[in-house]
Chain A
């Protein structure tokens, strides 16, 4: 059952080939037996899952159940789940059990999806390797000595290891697409404002966006149908009808104009990755898509702009973790300042502390204009690059990340080496555009991701192209050794 796609599971459940309880128990058993090797799941909610599955079976029996009714999924541990610990991968929230649900969690609950548990992640979503989690790193099911990517590494690894058919994730600078690429799964970051951020613990508010991960583009479309919604509790959520993302999947790519940015194939790109991505583009071209070389001249500035804006927003977003009302408080604070300083020093890991300090620096008196103000202007330039590009092309494609999964500790000492991992994904967050990664090859027995960037609210077109590619390739069906 674990090799079936969500689309297949939906059909199986609706036609009563198996029950949701059976399916749920199957995935719970897999998590129990396999996850100790991957550490992809922080919290397993077996009891609630089986209850939800039983309820889903009743709805299915009654008929007219929504698509996802009875389908087991995992939530990234950044989405607040009422009554279930929501840690955000941090010691700071190790004891945090929210009394409310994220909108995304509610959407899946209403659809009757069954939540198996919460996935591991980089602390507060700050990382590209999952090494910053308080709960220890997630291991890449394709090579357990390598990282799964981050920050949604737990979700990606869980799907790759068939611990769940789909999962929620979030993407601030590549946190859906990069781990999807490194773990050989599909994941889409929608347009900023498409998915509600209510109850999704903030890292950088103007960049954060939730999105789904699954093995196929079609499954991502099914999950996004449920995940995307207008929510009046999030001022930045866009009031716009959610289309049926599965509706256009079968359109041909004939005549599709695909922009290929030359800046995405420059120095630093692993030759194997380049080869796989070029091959994927050729496949689409053979189907009648047109490849157009384009330029995104300010691409190189996206990493520095991001590493001002994201830490600046984070430095304020994370001030609420002060030990006063919830979360970690240090032992025996000697006074108020001691409570603040030690709770935050002990509760936050090194990378989170570093980003808070960087953000504080960039916003402080005397530096604001040179850093934050400048980065906001550069952000505008980066957006303009895309606006111009989309005047001529329908989609933009290139590699998701410069190279396949690296080994643990490989980028240990220099934070900047790690930051460059997101060099191809960050710009879409700065611009607010939707982007996706799908498997498109293997290098050194590790998966390679093809990134597909669309215009605003053009998720359906991205999913269509991805699905069409998956009709012509089998990378997305491959499983790591010992998994199938």
Chain B
């Protein structure tokens, strides 16, 4: 099983991973082999089985609405690729 080139391109766009032209068929083939593995699920009868998102049947704990996180901008931005005046800089965002 292999995945169509256009599908790989779409996945790469959605996940923002540049895929180079030379490796695309290899990527397609390896993804296809994984999909063949997971396709075994299709044969299972799961009628009426509830989907399980969490291993434990616990419920969400709620936090009191109190400020516990103080300003640590300097420490947090010390490891940023590029900042200016307290802002994180990224290539221009075009809306």
A and B touch in the complex (CB under 8 A): yes
Contact between chains at B61 and A357 (CB < 8 Å): no
The listed residue with most B CB atoms (<10 A of its CB), out of A239, A329, A456, is A329
Contact between chains at B17 and A348 (CB < 8 Å): yes
Contact between chains at A354 and B34 (CB < 8 Å): yes
Beyond A99-B75, A374-B44: 11 further Cβ-contacts under 8 Å? A301-B41, A305-B38, A308-B38, A315-B15, A326-B80, A338-B91, A356-B15, A376-B51, A379-B52, A380-B52, A414-B33
Beta-carbon nearest neighbor of B79 in chain A: A326
Does A66 make an interface contact (CB < 8 A)? no
Does B76 make an interface contact (CB < 8 A)? yes
Number of A residues with CB within 8 Å of any CB on chain B: 76
Q: Which of B1-31 contact A (CB under 8 A)?
A: 3, 7-8, 10-12, 14-20, 27, 30-31
The listed residue with most B CB atoms (<10 A of its CB), out of A239, A335, A360, is A360
Contact between chains at B31 and A377 (CB < 8 Å): no
Does A54 make an interface contact (CB < 8 A)? no
Given known pairs A206-B54, A304-B37, the reply for A364 and B16 (CB within 8 Å) is no
Does A345 make an interface contact (CB < 8 A)? yes
The listed residue with most A CB atoms (<10 A of its CB), out of B30, B40, B56, is B56
Q: Which of A316-342 contact B (CB under 8 A)?
A: 319, 322-327, 329, 333-342
Could you mark each residue 177-195 of chain A with 1 if its beta carbon is under 8 Å from any beta carbon of chain B, else 0?
A: 0000000000000011100
Binding site for A on B (CB under 8 A): 3, 7-8, 10-12, 14-20, 27, 30-31, 33-42, 44, 46, 49-56, 58, 60-61, 63, 72, 75-76, 78-82, 88, 90-94
Residues of A within 8 Å of B7, CB to CB, are: 361
Given known pairs A342-B18, A377-B50, the reply for A370 and B31 (CB within 8 Å) is no
Residues of A within 8 Å of B14, CB to CB, are: 360, 364
Residues of B within 8 Å of A53, CB to CB, are: none
The complex places the Cα of A207 from the Cα of B52 at a distance, in Å, of: 12
Residues of B within 8 Å of A415, CB to CB, are: 30, 33-34
The complex places the Cα of A325 from the Cα of B86 at a distance, in Å, of: 12
Q: Which of B41, B58, B88 contacts A305 (CB 8 A)?
A: B41
Q: Which 6 A-B pairs have the closest CB atoms?
A: A432-B55, A376-B51, A377-B46, A341-B18, A340-B16, A345-B18
Q: Which of A356-370 contact B (CB under 8 A)?
A: 356-358, 360-362, 364, 370
Beta-carbon nearest neighbor of B36 in chain A: A416
Could you mark each residue 276-304 of chain A with 1 if its beta carbon is under 8 Å from any beta carbon of chain B, else 0?
A: 00000000000000000000001011011
- For this complex, 30 residue pairs linking A to B, each with C-beta atoms less than 8 Å apart, are A96-B79, A99-B76, A191-B56, A206-B53, A236-B56, A236-B58, A304-B39, A305-B41, A324-B88, A324-B90, A325-B81, A329-B82, A336-B90, A336-B94, A337-B16, A354-B27, A357-B12, A357-B17, A358-B34, A358-B38, A374-B42, A375-B38, A376-B53, A378-B49, A379-B52, A380-B49, A381-B46, A416-B34, A416-B37, A432-B54
